[in-house]
Amino acid sequence: MASTSTSSISLQNNAPGKRFPSSPTSKPLHSNLKFPFSMPATKATGIKSSSTTKYNEVVIDEEMDKIRRLQNGSDVRGVALEGEKGRTVDLSPPAVEAIAESFGEWVINGLEKEKGRVVENVKVSLGRDPRLSGASLSVAVFAGLGRAGCLVFDMGLATTPACFMSTLLPPFTYDASIMMTASHLPYTLSTMFKTPPARVDFMSNYAKHLRDIIKERVNHPLHYDSPLEGFQIIVNAGNGSGGFFTWDVLDKLGADTFGSLNLNPDGMFPNHMPNPEDKTAMALTRAAVLENSADLGIVFDTDVDRSGVVDKEGNPINGDRLIALMSAIALREHPGTTIVTDARTSMGLTSFITDRGGQHCLYRVGYRNVIDKGVQLNKDDIETHLMMETSGHGALKENYFLDDGAYMVLKIIIEMVRMKLAGSDEGIGSLIKDLEEPLESVELRMNIISEPRHAKARGMEAIETFRSFVEEGRLEGWELDSCGDCWVSDGCLVDLKDDPASVDAHMYRVKVSDEKQGQHGWMHLRQSIHNPNIAVNMQSMVPGGCLSMTNILRDKFLLASGMDKILDITQIDKYARTGLVK
């Protein structure tokens, strides 16, 4: 059977502090590695080739090129099965095998360099979400890693953060880990699957690790081992990998999880996509919380690197609200801390953070950018405990800078119990009561009109022209935004350091003011990380603010600069004329 699937592989190195000297980006901690695809032509097994050496080389070069192009943002990403309209399979088993082999070699080389000697028994774990293409691709990963000389450990159904933790928690402490997931992207069908490597039950250990943290931090005066007694918590795992949190964490800590939804893994995702940004996921969770008068609802994405919650009044807490909630917790624990977010957050969120004595650093979209920025700030002695993207990826300094949706929820649960023990019945929603929400919030996209291989350069040209227009004052009342007093001072997204962080997509945010209302909103223009398009995000505190910004963008920038020739402005035009997004 054939169907559609976009799949991606997150490749993770070993424990923090044990950084591979050979890491090409020398990114610390759990970076999804941009390892070089260094496989020699002779070792390109699995890739079809003819008998003449010359032809072999050409074919292999082409194939290798195709494989290299699968690197997308911070993952290796591609279509795993036939059936998706207009797209062909590019993350095929041979490609996956080649990637896994190359990764295995990279890990071994890194360790050998670090230790200055030949290393043996290099251990790599593999986890996957319930997506059905995962089964056949796992076989390819096992083969590739095995060929590179690694010992392979199959974690089976797992979460992305658990894969990372498998490099840290004893007795496992694998040297590296691979997670196969396509997060919230579409489902697929499966093929049969045989398991050659050793099976390990890591998830139970990871769940115990989470339980121990909750017990220790709550330190319940009456029932230490069951600190969640008396709380009803509903989990919606969306049929992804997150069900374990219900039976292996919450139930075992004494919580009542009756009413939980979609806990069984099902690669067809029959109810809705597991995604805290998904309206259906949030609405169903809200309904379950209200129906059961539960204390909290939790929504995980497929591989549990993101989560969202619903408070006891049924209010969905995701996006900016989730960042505000986590900021309130982080600022109580670490007064004055800096909090890094992507630059699509509201002006209200900035006030929320600064009113509590925190610093808000707006940075590039892309969870890796946001997390890496936090790592960098800490290195520069700017204490930064929380890094979060509006997409729901949130990482804490105390947890290895790891974006773990389960850990984030753990922090919220601990806070909920703490409030109750302190005599408050208000629930966690009360922590963000004063968050001011924007009146209007709009996202529009412009496709880049270009051959795919020139799209990035074209997109960059458009974004940089936008920057010049703003700097030259050609868009009255528009000014490049800055990000407080850290070193990203010339617009929120320009890195003035001697060794600037590499940019995966160009983007700028501008503050928008007019004579009558002062600063009433912002606009953010950026290249998409994954696709050949430009995203335009904007928010306004006044009615009609987004419409007027869009008109200025179209008339005074896109048409005036001629950028409408390289960008498809249909959506902008339609919104400017009708106020409708789609």
Ligand X SMILES: O=P(O)(O)OC[C@H]1O[C@H](O)[C@H](O)[C@@H](O)[C@@H]1O
Q: Which residues bind ligand X (CB under 6 A)?
A: 73, 365-367, 389, 391, 393, 528-531, 535
Distance CA 326, CA 337 (A): 12
Nearest distance, CB of residue 478 and ligand X, angstroms: 22
Nearest distance, CB of residue 491 and ligand X, angstroms: 19
Q: Which residues contact 577 (CB under 8 A, 6 or more apart)?
A: none
**Of the two residues 53 and 531, which places its CB atom closer to ligand X in the complex?**
531
**Of the two residues 393 and 554, which places its CB atom closer to ligand X in the complex?**
393
Handedness of CA 477, 479, 483, 485 (dihedral sign): negative
Nearest distance, CB of residue 394 and ligand X, angstroms: 11
49, 59 contact by CB (below 8 A):
yes
Closest CA to 160 of 376, 8, 369, 4: 8
| Token pair for 91 | 């993350």
| Token pair for 148 | 């590179």
The residue to which tokens 């490749």 are assigned: 11
**Of the two residues 72 and 430, which places its CB atom closer to ligand X in the complex?**
72
| Token pair for 198 | 């050793």
Nearest distance, CB of residue 175 and ligand X, angstroms: 25
101-111: b or e for each residue (b if 16 or more CB lie within 10 Å)?
A: bbbbbbbbbbb
**Of the two residues 415 and 504, which places its CB atom closer to ligand X in the complex?**
504
**Of the two residues 475 and 572, which places its CB atom closer to ligand X in the complex?**
572
362, 363, 364, 369 alpha-carbon torsion, rounded to 10°: -140
For β-strands 123-128 and 176-181, DSSP reports them as parallel
Nearest distance, CB of residue 185 and ligand X, angstroms: 9
Nearest distance, CB of residue 75 and ligand X, angstroms: 8
User: Which 3 state secondary structure label does DSSP give 545?
Assistant: helix
What would you report as the CA-atom Rg of the chain, rounded to the nearest whole angstrom? Answer: 24
ω into residue 196 within 30 of 0, thus cis? Answer: no
Q: Which residues contact 383 (CB under 8 A, 6 or more apart)?
A: 334, 336, 337, 338
**Of the two residues 63 and 278, which places its CB atom closer to ligand X in the complex?**
278
Q: What does the chain come to in residues? A: 582
**Of the two residues 445 and 574, which places its CB atom closer to ligand X in the complex?**
445
Nearest distance, CB of residue 390 and ligand X, angstroms: 8
Distance CA 285, CA 289 (A): 6
Nearest distance, CB of residue 317 and ligand X, angstroms: 19
Distance CA 161, CA 171 (A): 17
Closest CA to 302 of 143, 185, 142: 185
**Of the two residues 159 and 246, which places its CB atom closer to ligand X in the complex?**
159
Nearest distance, CB of residue 300 and ligand X, angstroms: 15
**Of the two residues 324 and 529, which places its CB atom closer to ligand X in the complex?**
529
395, 371 contact by CB (below 8 A):
yes
Phi/psi region, residue 144 (left: phi>0; alpha: psi -120 to 50; beta: rest), is: alpha
**Of the two residues 220 and 530, which places its CB atom closer to ligand X in the complex?**
530
Nearest distance, CB of residue 551 and ligand X, angstroms: 24
**Of the two residues 368 and 520, which places its CB atom closer to ligand X in the complex?**
368
Nearest distance, CB of residue 448 and ligand X, angstroms: 12
What is the SS3 assignment for 296-315? EEEEECCCCCEEEEECCCCC
Give the single-character DSSP code of 567. Answer: E
